[in-house]
Structure 1
Amino acid sequence: MAALNKGTSIMTNRKKLLTGVSLAAVLTAGLLYATDFLGLQPFAETATAAPTTGEAAPPTVNVIVAESRPVTHWQEFTGRFEAVDEVAIRARVEGQIDAVHFTPGQIVQKGDLLFTIDPRPFEATLAGAEARLEEVRAAAYLAETELKRQRQLRENGHVSQSVLDQAIQEAQAARASIAAAKAAVDSARLNLEFTEIKAPVTGRISDDAVNVGNLIAAGANSEVLTTIVSLDPIHFVFDASEQQYLEYVRGTIATGLRDKDSRIPVAVRLIDEDSFAHPGTIDFIDNRIDRATGTIRGRAVFINGDEVLAPGMFGRLRLAIAENAPTVLIPEQAVGSDQTLKFVWVADAEGVVHRRRVTLGGREDGLRIIEKGLEAGDQVIVSSLHMIGEGMTITPNKTALDSFELATAE
C-alpha cells in the first residue's frame, strides 16, 4: 500500500512539471509573436545591442629622470657644546678676601687679576724667611773660615784629624742650611704671589661666589670662587651608536676621507636654525665603545669668533662620511608613504607604471637623496599621484629636475 502511494505521488509531480514547462513555452511564443506583430523588433534589437566606443588614450603625467650627482653624504647626531678650557678658580693660600677685580660675566684675559687675599701675613712670613737666610749665610761664612783654619793647623800637625773632620761637617751643614733657608724664602714668596688670584685662561667668567671680607680656605677641596670657560674655539661632544660608527669608518675609508689629515668636515645647526650654518672639523673619536650604552664618544671643534656658541648649548651635528659620492636625487613630492615604508611610482620604457620601494637619505639642494631603490635614468612620476596604480599605462611628460630644485630654493 505504501509503495502504491509513493508511485502515485511521483506521477503527480511529473504532471505538474510538464504543465509548468508547457505554460512557459506558450508564454514565450506569444511574446515573440506580439513583438513581431506589433513592429517592436527594431526597438528590442536596439535595447540589447551594446554601444561601441574607441579605447581611451593613456593619461599624460609629469615625470622626471632621476639623476646622479656628486653629493657629500652625512650622518646626523645630537649633542652639546663644551668649553675647550673650563677652570674652577680656588684659592691656593688661605686668608681674607681683600678685593674682587672683575665684573661677573665679562671676558677676562689670561693673567688678569681676579681676587686679592690679604697679603700682610705672607709678607711677614717672607720677611722672616729672608732674615733666616741671612742668619744661616753668616753661620756658613764662619764655618767656612773655621774649616780653612783647621786645615792649616792640620797641615802643621797642631790638631788631630778628628778636629778637622768636625770643621768639615760644620761647613757642610752650614751650606745645607743656606739651601733650606733659600727654599723657605722661595716658598714664602710664592705664597705671597698666591694672594693675587689671576685668570689661568682667557674666557668668560662667572659670578663671584665670595665677597670681600670673607675668610677662605685653600686647596683642591676648598670653595670654588668662580669659574672661567673659554669660548673660541669651542668643542661639540656627541655619542654615536655602533652601527653609525661602522658606517662612518667604512664610508670614510672607501672615499679616502680619513686620509686627509683626519680633518673630517662637520656642521652644526642650533635649535632655532633650519640649516647647518656652523662648519667645523672632527678632532677626536674615542678608542672604544661603551659597553653599558653601546655608543662611542666623538668630538668636533668649531671657530666661535662671534661667541654665538656657548658651553652647554644643544645642537644637531652632521658628519661627512663620503665626499662627492654619486647619488640619486628626486623631488620630495614624488615620495609616497605606506605606513613605515617609502615608495615612488616609476614608468618603464613602454609607459607602464610600477611601484618601487626606496630607502631615503637626507636632503641636498631641496631634493631628496635616494640611498636604495632607484638608479640614474629611472622615470619617476611627480604629478597626479592619486590617479596612479600598478600596471596602468601613461604618457610621460618629462620635466627638468632643476625646476624642482629652484622652486624649493625660492
Structure 2
Amino acid sequence: MRVAGFERVAAWALSALALGAMGVGLTGCGQSNGQTAAAAPPPPEVGVVTVAPGQADLAAELPGRLEAFRVAQVRARAAGILQKRLFTEGSDVKAGQVLFEIDAAPYRATLASAQATLARAEANLVQAQALADRYAPLAKTQAVSQQEALNAQAAALQAKADVAAGKAAVQTAQINLGYATVTSPIAGRIGRALVTEGALVGQGEVTQLAVVQQIDKLYVNFTQSAAEVMRLRQALADGKLQGAGKDAAKVQVLLEDGSVYPQPGKLLFSDLSVDPSTGQITLRAELPNPKGLLLPGLYVRVRLAQAEVDGAVWLPQQAVARGATGASVLVVADDGSVSARPVKLGPAQDGKALVLGGLKAGEKVIVDGLQKTKAGGKARPVAWAPAGSAPAAPASAASR
C-alpha cells in the first residue's frame, strides 16, 4: 500500500516537471519570435521619378570667349602736343565724335603758306595765259617769231601746273589740320585714355590714344573636337540621330555662374580646316547684347544643338552613379525590390543627365535616398520633388 502511494506521488511529480519544462520552452520560443520581428524594420522610403521617354536635343557644351563685334583703335595721325581730351572714359561715343585735340598751330600755318603759294601761282597763270593768247595771232602774221609764241604757250602751261600743285598743297595742309582733331571712327563704347594731356604724340609713329569697341552685338568664338564632329556626322548619316531642325544654327550661351543668357545666338560659320596642333575646329556665333551686360573677353560656355534623339530620358544628376564599367541607376520594381540598371548617357544639360538607353517607360528610378538602400534590397518609393517644390506623394498604391 505504501509502495503504490509512493508511485502515484512520483508520477505526479514527473508530470508537473514536464509541464513546467514545456512552459519554459514555449516562453522561450515566444521571446525568440518577438526579437526576430523587431530586427526586421520596414523598407526605407526613397524618392523616385517615373521614366517618361521623349525627344531631346543632343547638344554639345563647348568653351568659348566673347569678342567685340567691331574694334577701332583711335590713333594720332598728326604729330604734336595733345591739348584736350573731350570724352568720358567708359562712355558710349558716336561715329565722328571729337575725342582729342592736338596742337593745330603748326598745321594752320602750313595751310596759310600753301594758300599763299596757290594765290601766287594763280596770278602767274593769269599773266602767262594773257601773253600766250596775244602771241598766238601775231605768230600767224609773223609779227612775232614762232619761237616766242611757243615759249608763251609753255609758260602758260607751266603756270597751270603750278596752280594744280598749289591746290594739292592746300588740300594736304587741310587734311593734316583735320588730323589735329581726333574723332571716333565708329560708334561704340570707349575705354580709358592711353595718353594724357601734354604728351607728344604721332612723332615718328602713329600713337594709339584709345580703343572704341562696338558691343551691342558680340562674337562668340569657340572650338569643337574634330573627332566629335566626325562621329556626329556619321551617326546622322547612319540614321541613328536626326538633324536638329531649323533651329540647328542657334546657340545658347552659359555664363560663368551657370546661368543661361536669355538672348540666343546665331551660328555664323565653322572653319573648313582642323587646327593641326589641337585637333579642334573653330566656330563663331553672333550674340545680341542690347543692354551691354556682356563684355568682350568674358569666358563662357556655348551650347550648340546638333541633333535630336528619340526615347531620351532626363534625370537629376544625383540619380546616376558613374564607375569604371560605366553609368548606372537604381530602379524600384512594383514589389519594392531594388536593382541596378546600366544606362547610356549623353551630354548633361542644366544640371540634368541625359539617358539615351537602358530604361523603359514607367520604371521608377531612385533619385533621393540612395544611401538607404542598394541593389538586391527593398525600398518604398514615393514621388520625388526638387527642393522648394510641393511635398511628394506616394509613387503608387502598390508601393504603399
TM-score under structure 1 normalisation? Answer: 0.71
Q: Among residues 263, 274, 299, which one is paired with 1:314 in the alignment?
A: 299
Structure 1, residues 227-261: CA drift from partner, whole Å, max 9, x if none? Answer: 2222211222222221244356668997555877x
**Shift of residue 369 of structure 1?**
1.3
**Shift of residue 181 of structure 1?**
1.2
Q: Which of the pair has more CA radius of gyration?
A: 1
Aligned twin of 2:167: 182
Are 1:407 and 2:392 an aligned pair?
no
CA distance in 2, matches of 1:340, 1:257: 31
Number of residue pairs aligned between Structure 1 and Structure 2: 348
Q: Does the 8 Å CA contact 2:71/2:211 hold for their aligned counterparts?
A: yes
Corresponding letter in the other structure for 1:196? T
Equivalent residue runs for 1:65-80 within 5 Å: 66-80=51-65
CA distance in 2, matches of 1:143, 1:244: 80
Equivalent residue runs for 1:96-107 within 5 Å: 96-107=81-92
Q: Which runs of 5+ in 2 are unaligned?
A: 1-17, 23-42, 390-400
Q: Among residues 91, 101, 111, which one is paired with 2:96 in the alignment?
A: 111
Aligned twin of 2:68: 83
CA distance in 1, matches of 2:284, 2:197: 40
Corresponding letter in the other structure for 2:386? A
Provide closer, same or farther for how the CA distance between residues 155 and 350 of structure 1 changes in structure 2, counting only shifts above 3 A.
Answer: farther
Aligned twin of 1:290: 275
**Shift of residue 207 of structure 1?**
2.1
CA distance in 2, matches of 1:167, 1:327: 97
Provide closer, same or farther for how the CA distance between residues 379 and 113 of structure 1 changes in structure 2, counting only shifts above 3 A.
Answer: same
**Shift of residue 307 of structure 1?**
1.4
Q: RMSD between aligned alpha carbons? A: 3.9
**Shift of residue 116 of structure 1?**
0.6
Structure 1, residues 159-210: CA drift from partner, whole Å, max 9, x if none? Answer: 4444443333333322222222111111100111111111112222222232
CA distance in 1, matches of 2:105, 2:232: 60
Q: Among residues 239, 243, 247, which one is paired with 2:223 in the alignment?
A: 239
Aligned twin of 2:127: 142
Provide closer, same or farther for how the CA distance between residues 64 and 93 of structure 1 changes in structure 2, counting only shifts above 3 A.
Answer: closer
Q: Percent identity?
A: 30
Provide closer, same or farther for how the CA distance between residues 170 and 334 of structure 1 changes in structure 2, counting only shifts above 3 A.
Answer: same
Aligned twin of 1:326: 310
CA distance in 2, matches of 1:74, 1:243: 16
Aligned twin of 1:377: 361
Are 1:229 and 2:194 an aligned pair?
no
Aligned twin of 1:126: 111
Q: Which runs of 5+ in 1 are unaligned?
A: 1-38, 44-58
Q: Does the 8 Å CA contact 1:95/1:117 hold for their aligned counterparts?
A: yes
CA distance in 2, matches of 1:209, 1:365: 42
* Secondary structure, counterpart of 1:209 in structure 2: coil
**Shift of residue 341 of structure 1?**
1.8
Provide closer, same or farther for how the CA distance between residues 149 and 325 of structure 1 changes in structure 2, counting only shifts above 3 A.
Answer: farther
Aligned twin of 2:179: 194
Corresponding letter in the other structure for 1:407? P
